[in-house]
Chain A
Amino acid sequence: MHIPDGFLTPTVTITTVTVAGAVLANSLKTVNASIKPDQIPLMGLLASFVFLIQLFSFPIPGGTSIHLTGALLISIILGPRAGFIILTVSLLALALLFQHGGVFSLGANVINMAAVGCFVGYALYNLIPGRRGAIILASMISGIVSAALCASELALSGMLELSAGIKTMSFIYGITGLIEGVITLLILEFLLKVKPEILGSET
C-alpha cells in the first residue's frame, strides 16, 4: 500500500505532492494556532508510538498478520488535524529510514493513508451513530476509500487497469480496514478501562 518511488508518472507525482503539501500546510497552521505547550511533547511521543505500531505486525486469527496505521486511533485522541500531521511525519520517517514508500510518492501516500485515514475516518466516526459500530465501519470504509485512491493513482500512471485495480485493492484493504477497526475498538475499550483521561486530549 505504501507506493514506492518510480511507480507514478511525473504528472501524478507533482499533483499529489501539491495537494498533500497544501493540506499539510493548512493543518500545521491550524494546529500551530491552537496548540497548548504540553501538547508538543505529546504529539512527538504519539508520533513515535504510531511509527512503532506501523512497524509491528499484529497476529490475527487465521495465521496471517497485518500492521495497523493508527490513523483513526490518533484522530480520536488528538483530533484529525494533529492526527494527520503525526501520520505524515511517520510516513516520511518510514520512507527515509525503512524504505516503505518513497519520497516523491510521499504526496500520494500522505493523501491515501494520512488524509483519508484521519479526515475521512474521523468524519465517518462522528457521523455514524453508536460508538462500537462507528469505529469499525469508519475504519473499514476509509480502508476502501484509500485503496480506491491508491488504485486510481496507479491507473492514471498506466500501472494498472482501473476497474481491476480498484476491485482487487478495495477488497484487500476493506478487510484490513475491518480488522484495524476491531483492534482500534479493543484498544479504545482498554484505554477506557485503564486511563480514560487520554481520550479527552483533543487539540
Chain B
Amino acid sequence: MKHAFIDRYAHLKSPIHELDVAKKLAAALSGLFLLLILLPLLDQTRTMSGLYIYSICALLVALGSKVPISFLLTRSVMVLPFSALIILVNFVSGNFSPGQTLEMILKSMLSIFTLLLLTSTTPFHELMKQLARWGAPRLFIIILAFMYRYFFLLVGEIEALERGIKMRHSQVGGWKRTQVYASIIGMLLIRSYERAENVYRAMRMRGFTGDFR
C-alpha cells in the first residue's frame, strides 16, 4: 500500500525545497495577502496588471522548484467548478460581468498555485512544526498532527471494508446500498475509536500524563 500522495513532491531536491520553512511559509502567506487583500484595493486595471506580474513571478518560482508544472496547473484549475456555479447563478439573475469573473478566476487560481508551491516544497510535518513555533495553540496542532498521522491508516481500513462488502454481496441498489455505506462509515468510526483507545494506552505506557502544553 502506498499512500504518500498528499505531499508527494515535498521530498524533491531544489533550491526552493532547501529554503528555511519559516521563510517559505511567511512568503506564501504574504503572497496570499498581496493577492487577496492588497491588490483588490486598487482599481480594476491595476489589479489585473498586478495579477499578471504575480503569475510570472509564481511561474518562475515553480520552475526553480522542479515540481512538475503540469501538476501545479491541473490542481489549480480545480477551482473552476465552483466558479462555474457562481457564473451560472449570475447568468440566471442577469448579473454577469466578464471582467469581474476573469479577475475572480485568476485570483483564486493564483492562490491555489501559491499554496501548492508551498505544500509541494515542504513536508507537511515541517509546516505543522513551524506553526507551533509561531505560537499556534498546542491542542490544535496536536489534533492536526494526529489527523495527518492516522489518515493513511484509516484510508487502508476503508479500502478493506469496501473490499469486504464487494466480496460478500456483489450488487445492491437504492436504499439498501445507502444503509450498507452508512454501516461502513459507522464501522470506520468504531475502528477509529478503538484505535484511539490503543494509542492512548501506548502513550500512557511511555509516560504521557495528559500534559501537552
The answer to whether A and B assemble together is yes
Spell out A's residues near B (CB within 8 Å). 2-10, 13-14, 24-25, 28, 31-32, 35-38, 40-49, 51-53, 56, 58-61, 68, 73, 85-86, 88-90, 92-93, 95-97, 99, 102-104, 154, 158-161, 164-165, 168, 182-183, 186-187, 190-191, 194-195, 198
Cβ of B200 and Cβ of A42 under 8 Å apart? yes
How many Å lie between the Cα of A68 and that of B6 in the bound state? 21
Task: Please tell me if the beta carbons of A5 and B36 are within 8 angstroms of each other in the complex.
Answer: yes
- Measured in the bound complex, the distance between the Cα atoms of B6 and A48 in whole Å is 14
Query: With a CB–CB cut-off of 8 A, which chain A residues contact B108?
Result: 4-7, 102
Residues of A within 8 Å of B145, CB to CB, are 44
With A6-B107, A99-B75 as known contacts, state yes or no: A190 contacts B183, CB within 8 Å. yes
Provide the residues of chain A in CB contact with B130, threshold 8 Å: none
Q: Which of B112, B139, B186 contacts A4 (CB 8 A)?
A: B112
Count B interface residues, CB 8 Å: 80
Instruction: From A5, A45, A97, A160, name the one whose CB has the most chain B CB atoms within 10 angstroms.
Output: A45
Chain A, interface SS category:
helix
Indicate if the CB atoms of B144 and A6 lie closer than 8 Å: no
A97-B6 contact, Cβ under 8 Å, with A14-B37, A48-B146 = yes
Stretch of B15-23, B59-67, B82-90 at the chain-chain interface: B82-90
Contact partner of A45 (CB less than 8 A), chosen from B40, B107, B195, is: B195
Cα–Cα distance between A51 and B181 once the two chains are bound (Å):
17
Q: CB within 8 A of A190: which of B124, B175, B186?
A: B186
Q: What's the Cα separation between A48 and B152 when bound, in Å?
A: 9
Report the minimal beta-carbon distance from B113 to chain A, rounded to whole angstroms. 10
- The reply to whether B140 and A89 contact each other, CB–CB distance below 8 Å, is yes
Interface pair A186/B178, CB less than 8 Å apart: yes
Asked whether, in the complex, the Cβ of A61 is within 8 Å of the Cβ of B174, the reply is: yes
Q: Are A6 and B35 CB-contacts (below 8 A) given A61-B177, A85-B143?
A: yes
How far does the alpha carbon of A13 sit from the alpha carbon of B192 in the complex, in Å? Answer: 35
B203 within 8 A of A: yes
Task: Collect the chain B residues with CB atoms within 8 Å of residue A24's CB.
Answer: 140
The reply to whether A59 and B181 contact each other, CB–CB distance below 8 Å, is: yes
| Contact yes or no, A45 B193, CB < 8 A | yes
A-B contact sample (9 more), CB < 8 A, given A10-B36, A41-B146, A44-B147 = A5-B32, A5-B107, A6-B108, A24-B140, A45-B146, A49-B192, A96-B127, A102-B108, A183-B182
CA distance A3 to B137 in the complex (A): 25
B32 near A89 (CB under 8 angstroms)? Answer: no
Cβ of B154 and Cβ of A97 under 8 Å apart? no
Q: Are A10 and B104 in contact (CB under 8 A)?
A: no
> 3 tightest A-B contacts by CB?
A44-B146, A37-B210, A6-B108
B189 within 8 A of partner (CB): yes
Task: State in angstroms the CA–CA spacing of A22 and B72 once bound together.
Answer: 34
Question: Is B193 a contact of A42 with CB atoms below 8 Å?
Answer: yes
Interface string of B25-53 (1 = CB under 8 A from A): 00001001101110011000000000000
A residues within 8 A CB of B106? 6
Contact A160 B90 (CB under 8 A): yes
CB neighbours of B119 from chain A (8 A) = 96-97
Interface-central residue, A7, A51, A53, A90, by most chain B CB under 10 Å: A7
User: Distance in Å from the Cβ of B71 to the closest Cβ of chain A?
Assistant: 12
Which of A7, A158, A187 is B185 in contact with, Cβ under 8 Å?
A: A187
Complex alpha-carbon distance, A168 and B41, angstroms: 30
Q: Which of B105, B111, B190 contacts A194 (CB under 8 A)?
A: B190
- B7 and A97 form a contact (CB under 8 A): yes
